[in-house]
């Protein structure tokens, strides 16, 4: 019974997962190694698999036209979506706190700006008085 180690690339089908197996091949002319990959359709059995899981598959009797392998064990599980959602929720809370702090800072800067604009208004009123004095009256 042949066994291979690969990565789950798709788990969207019912009762079937796609496992990609990579292998290194030595080129006879160029004397270099290069990577080849092949996708296998596998029966997951009772295992709950997600994309990114590293698994070991073993060959057995044909299950369907293209399915010949069964997942025997999970070597390394990928991070689950539920964990990511929890992280996103934490980030949202942090973002809200940061947003609230930003709004407070904007409110403080508006108060400072309004105070500065108030002094500018006083300066313009002084300028208007001087401009009225410089304009000759038509009497």
Beta-bridge partners for 7? 20, 54
Residues comprising the chain, all counted: 139
What is the token pair recorded at 113? 């700006």
| Number of domains comprising the chain | 2
> Do residues 18 and 44 share a domain?
yes
Provide the CA 27 distance to its chain's centre, in angstroms: 38
> Do residues 72 and 91 share a domain?
no
Residue 112 lies in a domain: yes
pLDDT digits (tens, 9 = 90+) for 67-123: 999 999 999 998 876 656 656 666 666 666 666 677 777 777 776 666 655 554 444
CB 57 within 8 A of CB 44: no
Q: Which of 48, 76, 104 is the last residue of a domain?
A: 76
Residue 139 lies in a domain: no
What CATH number is associated with residue 54? 2.40.50.140
7 pLDDT more than 70 = yes
> Do residues 34 and 99 share a domain?
no
> Do residues 41 and 85 share a domain?
no
pLDDT digits (tens, 9 = 90+) for 114-134: 665 555 444 444 554 555 555
> Do residues 7 and 71 share a domain?
yes
Range of the domain at 97: 79-133
Please name the residue that has the structure tokens 């038509």: 138
């Amino acid at each position: 019974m042949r066994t291979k180690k690969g990565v789950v690339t798709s788990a969207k089908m019912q009762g079937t997962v796609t496992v990609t197996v990579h292998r290194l091949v030595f080129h006879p002319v160029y004397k270099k190694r290069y990577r080849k990959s092949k996708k296998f359709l596998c029966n997951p059995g009772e295992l709950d698999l997600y994309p990114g899981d590293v698994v070991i598959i073993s060959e057995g009797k044909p299950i369907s036209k293209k399915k010949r392998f069964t997942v025997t064990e999970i070597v390394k599980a990928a991070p689950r979506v539920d964990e990511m959602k929890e992280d996103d929720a934490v980030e949202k809370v942090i973002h809200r706190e940061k947003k609230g702090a930003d709004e407070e800072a904007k409110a403080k800067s508006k108060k400072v700006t309004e105070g500065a604009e108030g002094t500018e208004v006083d300066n313009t009123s002084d300028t208007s008085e001087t401009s009225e004095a410089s304009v000759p009256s038509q009497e």
